[in-house]
Amino acid sequence: MKKIFAVCLGLCVALCGFAQKYSNGLIDKSIAVIGNELITLSDLENEVQMAQLNGGDLGVNPRCTMLETMMQAKLFLMQARLDSLSVNQENVSAEVTDRIARVRTALGGDEGVEQYFGKPMYKLRAEWLKQMEEMSLTQQEQQEIAKKLPEVTPYDVKQYLDTVAENHLPIIPKKYQYSQICIYPNRDSAATACREKLLSIRQRIINGERFSTLARLYSEDPGSARKGGELGMASHSIFWPAFGDMGMSLKIGTISQIIETPDGFHIMEVIDRKGDMFNARHILLKPEYSDEDRVKAYERLDTLKAQILRDEISFELAAKIYSEDPATRTNGGQVADLHTGSAYYDVDQLKPQDYRALQNLEEGKISEPITSVDDEGNEGHMVFKIVRLDKIIPAHTATAEKDYTELLGSIEAIKRNEAIKEFVKKKIGETFIVIDPIFEECNFSMPEWSAKIAKHQ
């Protein structure tokens, strides 16, 4: 352990020394040559910094991990150029713009970004554009490799099941399929009451009370309320459009009119603005629904449930006629994942309120009325519902009979990863590669890289 620690410490000190020299503008150096592609120390440091800023986990030695990732990408990049693959510049530009917005927001504007990366914004923008272009080509080349793989057949699935130890087979988690009938509270009256309360708060600020004090007292945005409603310098593009547009147009120091977003209703005071970024205080209020709303909705849902249980109407027809959720109403109330279209949910995919109602139901049974949320905004809007448990699939080891689609996906992923690994291994062997000896103690996931480390002179 002492030896390993000493080696890691020595490598870290060497890299930090180079990084410090580079940040002081004294030196940069090539640390890897991959064919006709170079990786410099500054390239590596920038990628490590970006990963750390995004919360990425690069393991115990992030520079070794990142260097291997970058070298592998260079191999795909060279092949993509040989294959004459092209870049969609519109998509790349959009990705760069999004990255800049997120980084500027996280670091408090251009000055913070330039200080963190040790480079001016114009240079970072150019570097990130180049990186995104290369990333696009790399991903396309990986897709080209995957396309050349033969289609996975039922025989492949059977062979996989016959050769893989049972304790290594995928575990399919417990899944729920369910339907719902939803009723929303009286949104209009709640929105009106919310607006009136916010107008009253706005008037108090205009009359001389401190915005920050009232934000702490009334704002329902917990992240900013404790800071007096202050959001910090951020790109306007990260907010809901109505909020971002107001932040860019409102005169500094004035109080906005009411802004409606999917999260609720806001008033805003812009504190500072730089380019397309602004810092503002805001107060967020969300519509409040009365006990009367809940009682009325529950009574209506109870009535519908009783009619369904008496076979006066089917659940599916009741959902089509009475449910106020457009996403599930047309499907007879059946809930499906918005992204995948799957009607089966793992426990951790379910809304907590829905799971509590489903967990003790038997298949085909209908819950008592519950209060839940929909998918609008960041936290969802209140909705009342009854849910029916249509089917439950217990957690189990994957089988061809029950989980063919999941197994097919697993085998495709395995074959794709194997093909990519073989491509990298082959290219390492036939490409001119030299890696700086300061990385000689790196434990690369593919040992072939270590053979390319230059010897100390």
Is a pLDDT exceeding 80 seen at residue 15? no
Q: At which residue do the structure tokens 């951020």 appear?
A: 234
Task: State the average pLDDT over residues 61-89.
Answer: 91
Summarize pLDDT for 149-163 with one digit per residue, the tens.
Answer: 888 888 888 888 888
CATH 3.10.50.40 range(s) for the chain read: 175-185+290-397, 188-285
DSSP three-state, residue 296? helix
What pLDDT, on a 0 to 100 scale, did the predictor assign at position 25? 45
Is a pLDDT exceeding 50 seen at residue 214? yes
Q: Which of 30, 57, 55 is nearest to 42 (CA)?
A: 30
Q: Which of 321, 316, 288, 311 is nearest to 183 (CA)?
A: 321
What pLDDT, on a 0 to 100 scale, did the predictor assign at position 13? 39
What pLDDT, on a 0 to 100 scale, did the predictor assign at position 156? 87
Q: What is the pTM of this model?
A: 0.64
Is a pLDDT exceeding 80 seen at residue 332? yes
SS (H, E, C) 370-422: EEEECCCCCCCCEEEEEEEEEEEECCEECCHHHHHHHHHHHHHHHHHHHHHHH
What pLDDT, on a 0 to 100 scale, did the predictor assign at position 364? 95
Does the 188-285 domain belong in CATH 3.30.420.40? no
DSSP secondary structure code for residue 399 in this structure: -
Task: State the average pLDDT over residues 63-83.
Answer: 92
Q: For the domain 2-150+413-452, what is the CATH code?
A: 1.10.4030
The pLDDT-based confidence of 176 (bands split at 50, 70, 90) is: very high
What pLDDT, on a 0 to 100 scale, did the predictor assign at position 355? 93
Is a pLDDT exceeding 90 seen at residue 27? no
| Separation of alpha carbons 338 and 351, rounded Å | 13
What pLDDT, on a 0 to 100 scale, did the predictor assign at position 400? 84
| Separation of alpha carbons 342 and 319, rounded Å | 19
Task: State the average pLDDT over residues 303-331.
Answer: 94
What pLDDT, on a 0 to 100 scale, did the predictor assign at position 6? 36
Residues 6 or more apart whose CB falls under 8 angstroms from that of 43 comprise 70
* Count of Cβ atoms closer than 10 Å to residue 22 Cβ: 19
Question: Given its phi and psi angles, is residue 311 left (phi above 0), alpha (psi -120 to 50 degrees) or beta?
Answer: left
What pLDDT, on a 0 to 100 scale, did the predictor assign at position 115? 87
Between 221 and 380, residue with greater pLDDT? 221
Averaged confidence pLDDT in the chain: 87
| Separation of alpha carbons 439 and 454, rounded Å | 9
What pLDDT, on a 0 to 100 scale, did the predictor assign at position 338? 77
CATH 1.10.4030 range(s) for the chain read: 2-150+413-452
| Separation of alpha carbons 318 and 304, rounded Å | 7
What pLDDT, on a 0 to 100 scale, did the predictor assign at position 457? 54
Summarize pLDDT for 369-382 with one digit per residue, the tens.
Answer: 999 988 877 777 88
CATH (one of 3.10.50.40, 3.80.10.10, 1.10.10.10, 3.40.50.720) for 175-185+290-397 = 3.10.50.40
The pLDDT-based confidence of 3 (bands split at 50, 70, 90) is: very low
| Separation of alpha carbons 431 and 366, rounded Å | 64
Would you state the structure tokens that stand for residue 268, as one six-digit string? Answer: 């805003």
Task: State the average pLDDT over residues 263-268.
Answer: 93
Task: Classify the C-alpha dihedral 247-250-252-254 as positive or negative.
Answer: negative
Would you state the structure tokens that stand for residue 360, as one six-digit string? Answer: 């003790």
Summarize pLDDT for 184-196 with one digit per residue, the tens.
Answer: 988 888 889 899 9
Summarize pLDDT for 102-137 with one digit per residue, the tens.
Answer: 888 888 788 888 888 888 888 888 888 988 999 999
Task: State the average pLDDT over residues 220-240.
Answer: 90
- Of the listed ranges 61-70, 83-92, 370-379, the least confidently predicted one is 370-379
The pLDDT-based confidence of 10 (bands split at 50, 70, 90) is: very low
The pLDDT-based confidence of 429 (bands split at 50, 70, 90) is: very high
